[in-house]
Chain A
Amino acid sequence: MSTRLFIPRDTTALSLGADEVADLFLAQASDSCDVVRNGTRGMLWLEPLVEVDYEGERIAYGPVDVTDVAPLLAQGVLDRPVTESPLYQGPTEQIPFLARQQRLTFARCGVTDPLSIDDYRHHGGFTGLSKALTLDPQEIVDCVTQSGLRGRGGAAFPAGIKWQTVLTASGDRKYIVCNADEGDSGTFADRIIMEGDPFVVIEGMAIAGLAVGAEHGYIYLREEYPNAKLILDEAIALAESAGLLGDSLLGSGKTFHCEVRLAAGAYICGEETSLLESLEGKRGLVRAKPPLPAIEGLFGQPTVVNNVLTLASIPWILDSGAAGYAALGYERSKGTLAFQLAGNIKQGGLVECAFGLSLKELIEDFGNSSFSGRPLKAAQVGGPLGAYLPYSQWHLPMDYEAFAQVDAMIGHGGIVVFDDSADMGEQARFAMEFCKEESCGKCTPCRIGATRGVEVIDRIRNNQDVSNNLTLLGDLCDTMRDGSLCAMGGLTPVPVRSIMKHFGHELVSAGKESSL
């Protein structure tokens, strides 16, 4: 009898040799094992994580290197749990990192074969769409509004209000655009769900289409995710053959089609109006708002632009009800968020939990502190435009408003931790350098301001007229914040200011004596 193994085809697992490990199991034990290429469970420090199904219970081993395969087979890993192996992690679902999570959006991720429609159906797939097909558009939008779901891309705008605007707007046709241009460093939740459970994203888009009256959707996917592209393309073809997409959704007569469009390496195209320009085949220059994309979006038509995780949250909400979702969370941050632990962290990965737990719990309890073994110094939350938070702020609850109060943001939920060897002055300089590199160039505060920002920080770090240059840097930050057209220039000062405030001595000294 064949034993079933699960070896992820997620990018992180592949980047650490999962293909080679899978090939080796098949080469050395092809008669006695079947290998399912699942998504990741999100415990990325254990990748490649090999799960063995012993009569229905999945036992985890990891991280499994190619050199571990022969010893594991010799120990009889296909017949019994090899508890004596140093790679033995016990039953997967009982690993504390996973057991402590509240998986709603990621419930299937890592459990199923991402490209098996049967697996998807068997694990609760299609139920959200089936429910939506029994409702009229206004009822679907009401359900999303009542759930309290806010946009997961970073801006946290209420999803239901955006959908209501598109539903109410009139146009020749309407569009659903899934923003899969996940460019923030420290974020990979969109990638993990697209690679690990692509049908849930497609189902969410189809429901959005029913809600607002759109029959066509685009997934705008970053070019840096070639593996996600392969999986999504295949998933869409399978979804069409299974009736999850097409001219008659689940036989209802309602139509929804979607396709993947590949981006081309411009960070700014994650900004929704820049994204729309890019989808139209143009330079990704940010548009002035108004008009809102919900009223005049793609090709001038009413358009829902939602992040991958916003859309992937929808099937659960439709199936389980708005109240169940709204009951989770903290204050006005309803439901769960997929936090991502990244950077210098021992146990990096994906943590889906209700809002409200603290940054400290995430970094210390889930993340188990630094990878290097050195003391941690700072965490940048919310991507390259997010603040660097010192340890004294790690007690903050993960809540949009609590973070806003200290001039920080949760954004897309990425948490990048740095140990005490990090040079925070260098990080401040990088914030400006990144904006200079990635600005679309349309507005002056962003385009010129970032270049000047790098120069001013260099002068400060070279001990040139430090006091006046610090004042100038503050002024420049104000100008960028108040005068930029979009969040790129508007928020670049956030990380810079957080370093000025909490790590100012590192900005001015740069290893030398300060003239202050």
Chain B
Amino acid sequence: MTEREAISDIIDAHRHLEGSLLPILHAVQDRFGYLPPNSNRLIADALRVSEADVHGVISFYHYFRQRPPGKHAVSVCRAEACQAQGCRQLEAHIKTRLGIDFHDVTDDGQFSLEPVYCLGNCATGPTVRVNNTIYGRMSAEKVDRLFERLAVDTVRLLS
């Protein structure tokens, strides 16, 4: 199935919903990891809105992305409860360790980094999310071990 066909199928499966734009964007991003350049026009045509309208919605929400994320999409919580547990230092450590800033992807495509404001894990912070898994009581050492394990798992899968 081509990318275009896949997107059209997703649109057809959701367009009957009330306020269908967000469910469609979620489904496309779930499928591809991001919103491919083609998707704006296809969605706009199907919903009879302008491409600018679709773009406006995508750009409003932090979660929607128009570039592929890393294989391991890392988010680090920057909000107050994690601040009280040292997330500012953890954030600096993660940026140094991965060699990237927020909204970037490592050169090998393994890791991307995003800020997040609260993962609801506020009694056991600092908190980090990788894809859909949430890790509590993190420290520089635990993050190092986690990233090493994730990188090794990838090598194992490839070989």
Stretch at the interface among A126-134, A260-268, A498-506: A260-268
Query: B54-67: contact bitstring with A at CB < 8 Å (1 yes, 0 no)?
Result: 00110011111000
- B19→A281 contact, CB < 8 A: yes
A265 near B135: Cβ-Cβ < 8 Å: no
Q: Which of B5-13, B105-113, B121-129 has 4 or more CB atoms under 8 Å from chain A?
A: B121-129
Q: B85 within 8 Å of A by Cβ?
A: yes
A493 at the interface (CB under 8 A from B): no
A416 touches B22 (CB 8 A): no
In angstroms, Cα B120 to Cα A183, docked, is 8
B20 → chain A, closest Cβ, in Å? 6
A344 CB–B CB distance under 8 Å:
yes
> Are A371 and B85 also in contact (CB < 8 A) when A281-B20, A341-B123 are?
yes
Could you tell me which B residues sit within 8 Å of A by CB distance?
18-23, 25-26, 47, 56-57, 60-64, 79-85, 116-125, 127, 129, 132-137
Partner of B83, one of A345, A430, A437: A430
Q: Chain B: which residue is nearest A372 at the CB level?
A: B85
- A257 to chain B minimum Cβ distance, whole angstroms, is 12
Q: Which residue of A265, A299, A348 contacts B116 across the interface (Cβ within 8 Å)? A: A265
| Pairwise interchain contact A224-B120, C-beta atoms closer than 8 A | yes
What residues of A have a CB within 8 angstroms of the CB of B136 in the complex? 12, 15-16
**Chain A 252-285 against B: per-residue CB contact (8 Å), 1 yes, 0 no?**
0000000001111111000000000011111110
Query: Given known contacts A45-B123, A343-B122, A349-B123, is B83 in contact with A427 (CB within 8 Å)?
Result: yes
Bound-state CA distance A407–B70 (Å) is 44
Q: Which residue of A lies closest to B18 (CB)?
A: A299
B87 to chain A, nearest CB (A): 10
> What A residues does B79 contact at CB under 8 A?
185-186, 384, 434
Q: Does A51 contact B (CB under 8 A)?
A: no
A15-B124, A348-B122 as given contacts; A343 in contact with B80, CB under 8 Å: yes
The total of chain A residues at the interface (CB under 8 A) is 60
Q: Nearest A residue to B118 by beta-carbon distance?
A: A185
12 A-B pairs in the complex with CB atoms less than 8 angstroms apart:
A12-B136, A45-B123, A188-B122, A266-B61, A279-B19, A280-B19, A281-B19, A343-B125, A371-B85, A384-B79, A416-B84, A437-B117
* A147 proximal to B (CB < 8 A): no
Indicate if the CB atoms of B21 and A281 lie closer than 8 Å.
yes
Kindly specify which of A316-324, A357-365, A417-425, A454-462 makes contact with the partner chain.
A417-425
Which residue from B22, B120, B122 sits with its C-beta under 8 Å from A262? B22
- Check B119 against A187 for contact (C-beta < 8 Å): no
Q: Are B123 and A44 in contact (CB under 8 A)?
A: yes
Is A238 on the interface with B (CB-CB < 8 A)? no
Instruction: Tell me which of A15, A16, A430, A437 has the highest count of chain B C-beta atoms within 10 A of its own C-beta.
Output: A15
**Chain A residues in 8 Å Cβ range of B123:** 12, 44-45, 188, 340-342, 345, 348-349
A297 to B17, CA, bound (A): 18
* Contact, CB under 8 Å: A224 / B62: no
CB pair B21 A11 closer than 8 Å? no
With A342-B81, A384-B79: A416-B61 Cβ-Cβ less than 8 Å: no
Q: Cβ of A47 < 8 Å from any Cβ of B? A: yes
In the complex, A333 has a CB within 8 A of chain B:
no
Q: Which residues of A contact B137 (CB under 8 A)?
A: 15-16
Q: A15-B136, A284-B60 are in contact. Are A224 and B84 (CB under 8 A)?
A: no
A11 near B57: Cβ-Cβ < 8 Å: no
> Which parts of A409-452 form the interface with B (CB within 8 Å)?
414, 416-419, 422, 427, 430, 434, 437-438, 440
Question: Is A403 interfacial (CB 8 A cutoff)?
Answer: no
CB distance from A3 to the nearest CB of B (A): 28
**Contacting residue for B80 out of A186, A266, A282, CB 8 A:** A186
**Which residues of A line the B interface, CB within 8 A?**
11-12, 14-16, 44-45, 47, 182-188, 190-191, 223-227, 261-267, 278-284, 299, 340-345, 348-349, 371, 380, 384, 414, 416-419, 422, 427, 430, 434, 437-438, 440
Contacts of A262 in B (CB 8 A): 22-23, 26
Min CB–CB distance A233 → chain B (angstroms): 13
| Cβ A267 vs Cβ B122 within 8 A | no
Q: Is the CB of A265 within 8 A of B22?
A: no
B63, B121, B132: the one contacting A188 at CB < 8 Å is B121
> Is the pair B57, A282 in contact by a Cβ cutoff of 8 Å?
yes
Distance, CA A223 to CA B73, complexed state (A): 14
A224-B119, A266-B61 known; A44+B19 contact, CB < 8 A: no
B124–A184 CB distance below 8 A: no
A418 B135 Cβ-Cβ under 8 A: no
Shortest beta-carbon distance from B118 to chain A in Å = 5
The answer on a CB contact under 8 Å between B120 and A283 is no
Distance between Cα atoms of A141 and B20 in the complex (Å): 32
Rounded to whole angstroms, the CA-CA distance of A387 and B110 in the bound complex is 40
Among B116, B127, B137, chain A packs the most CB atoms within 10 A around the CB of B137
Min distance, Cβ A178 to any Cβ of chain B, angstroms: 15
For residue B46, give the distance in angstroms from its CB to the closest CB of chain A: 12
Chain A residues with CB below 8 A from B57, complex form: 281-283
Known: A12-B121, A15-B124, A281-B20. A343 touches B60 (CB 8 A): no
Instruction: List the A side residues contacting B129 at CB < 8 Å.
Output: 224
Contacts of A427 in B (CB 8 A): 80, 83
Q: Are A226 and B120 in contact (CB under 8 A)?
A: no
- What residues on A are CB-neighbors of B22 within 8 Å? 261-264, 278-279, 281
* Nearest-neighbor residue (CB-CB) of B122 within chain A: A342
Q: Which residues of B contact A434 (CB under 8 A)?
A: 79, 117
Cα(A184)–Cα(B135), bound, Å: 19
Nearest neighbor of A438 in chain B, beta-carbon distance: B117
Chain A residues, CB < 8 A from B60? 266, 283-284, 440
Q: Which residues of the partner chain A approach B120 to less than 8 Å between Cβ atoms?
A: 11, 182, 187-188, 190-191, 224-225
Complex CA–CA separation, A223 to B134 (angstroms): 13
Bound CA–CA A185/B78 (angstroms)? 9
